Amino acid sequence: MRANFIFSEVWIGLRRNLTMTIAVVVTVAVGMALLGVGLMINSQVSKLTGYWSNKVEVSVYLCVKNSAFAACKNKNGVTQEQRANLEQTIKSLPDVEQVTFESQTDAYKKWQQQEVNQTLLAVTKVEDMPESFRVKLKDPDKAAAVANSLKGQPGVSNVVNERDLLQSVFGFMDTLRNVALGIAILMVIAATLLIGNTVRLSAYNRRRETGIMRLVGASNIYIQLPFVLEGLIAGLIGGVLAGVILIIVKVYIFESIQTYMAAPLGWDTVAGVISGTMAIGVLICVVASFITLRRYLRV
């Protein structure tokens, strides 16, 4: 009997404040969807950062004949002795995991696969390509220190830290993630305020019923439970809608750019994000309802 009464009160409350309930559902859905997109972008950035960080190398280019680099004082290019000494120096560094030598022929073949300018391909010869050492590090964060230690070594024309080349890309993605999360937080705050106002209005409209319940000895929990359940239902519906939106975003946005992603976002991550945002949406609604009732419910 008590359960029937509580559910009937929940239905009455939802019906009386239908437009406000719809507004809460929409706000929760949009807010949780934006939060979910922010979390998905964050996960994608983390995956890409981890993927490329493990592949970051320091490229040590050697002097070639008649090199234009100021560091190449010997116009005949790097000598065999300098090459051997440099390799030993690189391998002796504590942060170096692996060293791979790339000959002029290997460098030319790789460049041919990447270059599309036919005129440049026609005039470039194998001897124009520099030899290099590809240095893989144990800790990619030490790339700058390793690169600085190898600059100025005999026979070295230039040292390139590939982490610097990726920094602008990661910076853009970090900015995109922060913007998405910032907007999501604002929407969550808006949803919390809207839920509080909705519960407050519902409590005001039903003040006579709650007054009677108090007179007949109903407990605070029994009086507050219908209002909390209304918030829970609105939060659950909004969370489900947010989950649908996140699935659409995954299919039509993340899947479309998956070809360009070395570490694509998996459905397991999306499922985790959907579960998390639904839980957050419901929790916000329940907590906002409970706090509002304690402050505004006068029976």
Residue 82: CATH number of its domain: 3.30.70.3040
Longest dimension (CA), the chain: 103
Quote the tokens at residue 253: 């946005």
**Over pLDDT 70: what percentage of the chain?**
75
Same domain for 36 and 78, yes or no, is no
Q: Please tell me the predicted confidence (pLDDT) of residue 221.
A: 67
What does the DSSP 8-state code read for residue 72? -
Q: What is the pLDDT of residues 272-298, one digit of tens each?
A: 999 988 888 888 877 877 777 666 555
> Would you call 49 exposed, middle or buried from its count of C-beta atoms within 10 A (0-12, 13-18, 19+)?
middle
The rounded Cα 56 to chain-centroid distance in angstroms is 20
Given 162, 193, 219, the domain boundary residue is 162
Q: Which amino acid is at 256?
A: S
Same domain for 59 and 202, yes or no, is no
Q: Please tell me the predicted confidence (pLDDT) of residue 244.
A: 93
Same domain for 147 and 61, yes or no, is yes
The secondary element (H helix, E strand) that includes residue 96 is strand 96-102
Q: Please tell me the predicted confidence (pLDDT) of residue 245.
A: 92
Same domain for 41 and 171, yes or no, is yes
Same domain for 195 and 145, yes or no, is no
Same domain for 42 and 127, yes or no, is no
Same domain for 173 and 40, yes or no, is yes
- Residue 264: band (very low, low, confident or very high) from pLDDT cuts 50, 70, 90: confident
Same domain for 108 and 93, yes or no, is yes
Same domain for 134 and 171, yes or no, is no
Look at residues 156, 125, 161, 162 and name the one whose alpha carbon lies nearest to residue 146: 161
In angstroms, the Cα distances linking 110 to 115, 124, 176, 226, 261 are 9, 13, 33, 69, 22
- For residue 205, give its domain range: 2-52+167-296
- Residue 65: band (very low, low, confident or very high) from pLDDT cuts 50, 70, 90: confident
CA distance 8 to 68: 85
pLDDT over 60 (residue 299): no
Same domain for 189 and 277, yes or no, is yes
Considering its fold, how many domains does the chain have in total? Answer: 2
Look at residues 258, 254, 288, 249 and name the one whose alpha carbon lies nearest to residue 34: 249
Residue 99 bridge partners (DSSP): 135
Q: What is the mean pLDDT of residues 206-213?
A: 66
CA distance 110 to 130: 12
CA distance 127 to 108: 9
Same domain for 107 and 138, yes or no, is yes
Length, in residues, of the chain:
299
Same domain for 98 and 196, yes or no, is no
Q: Please tell me the predicted confidence (pLDDT) of residue 1.
A: 41
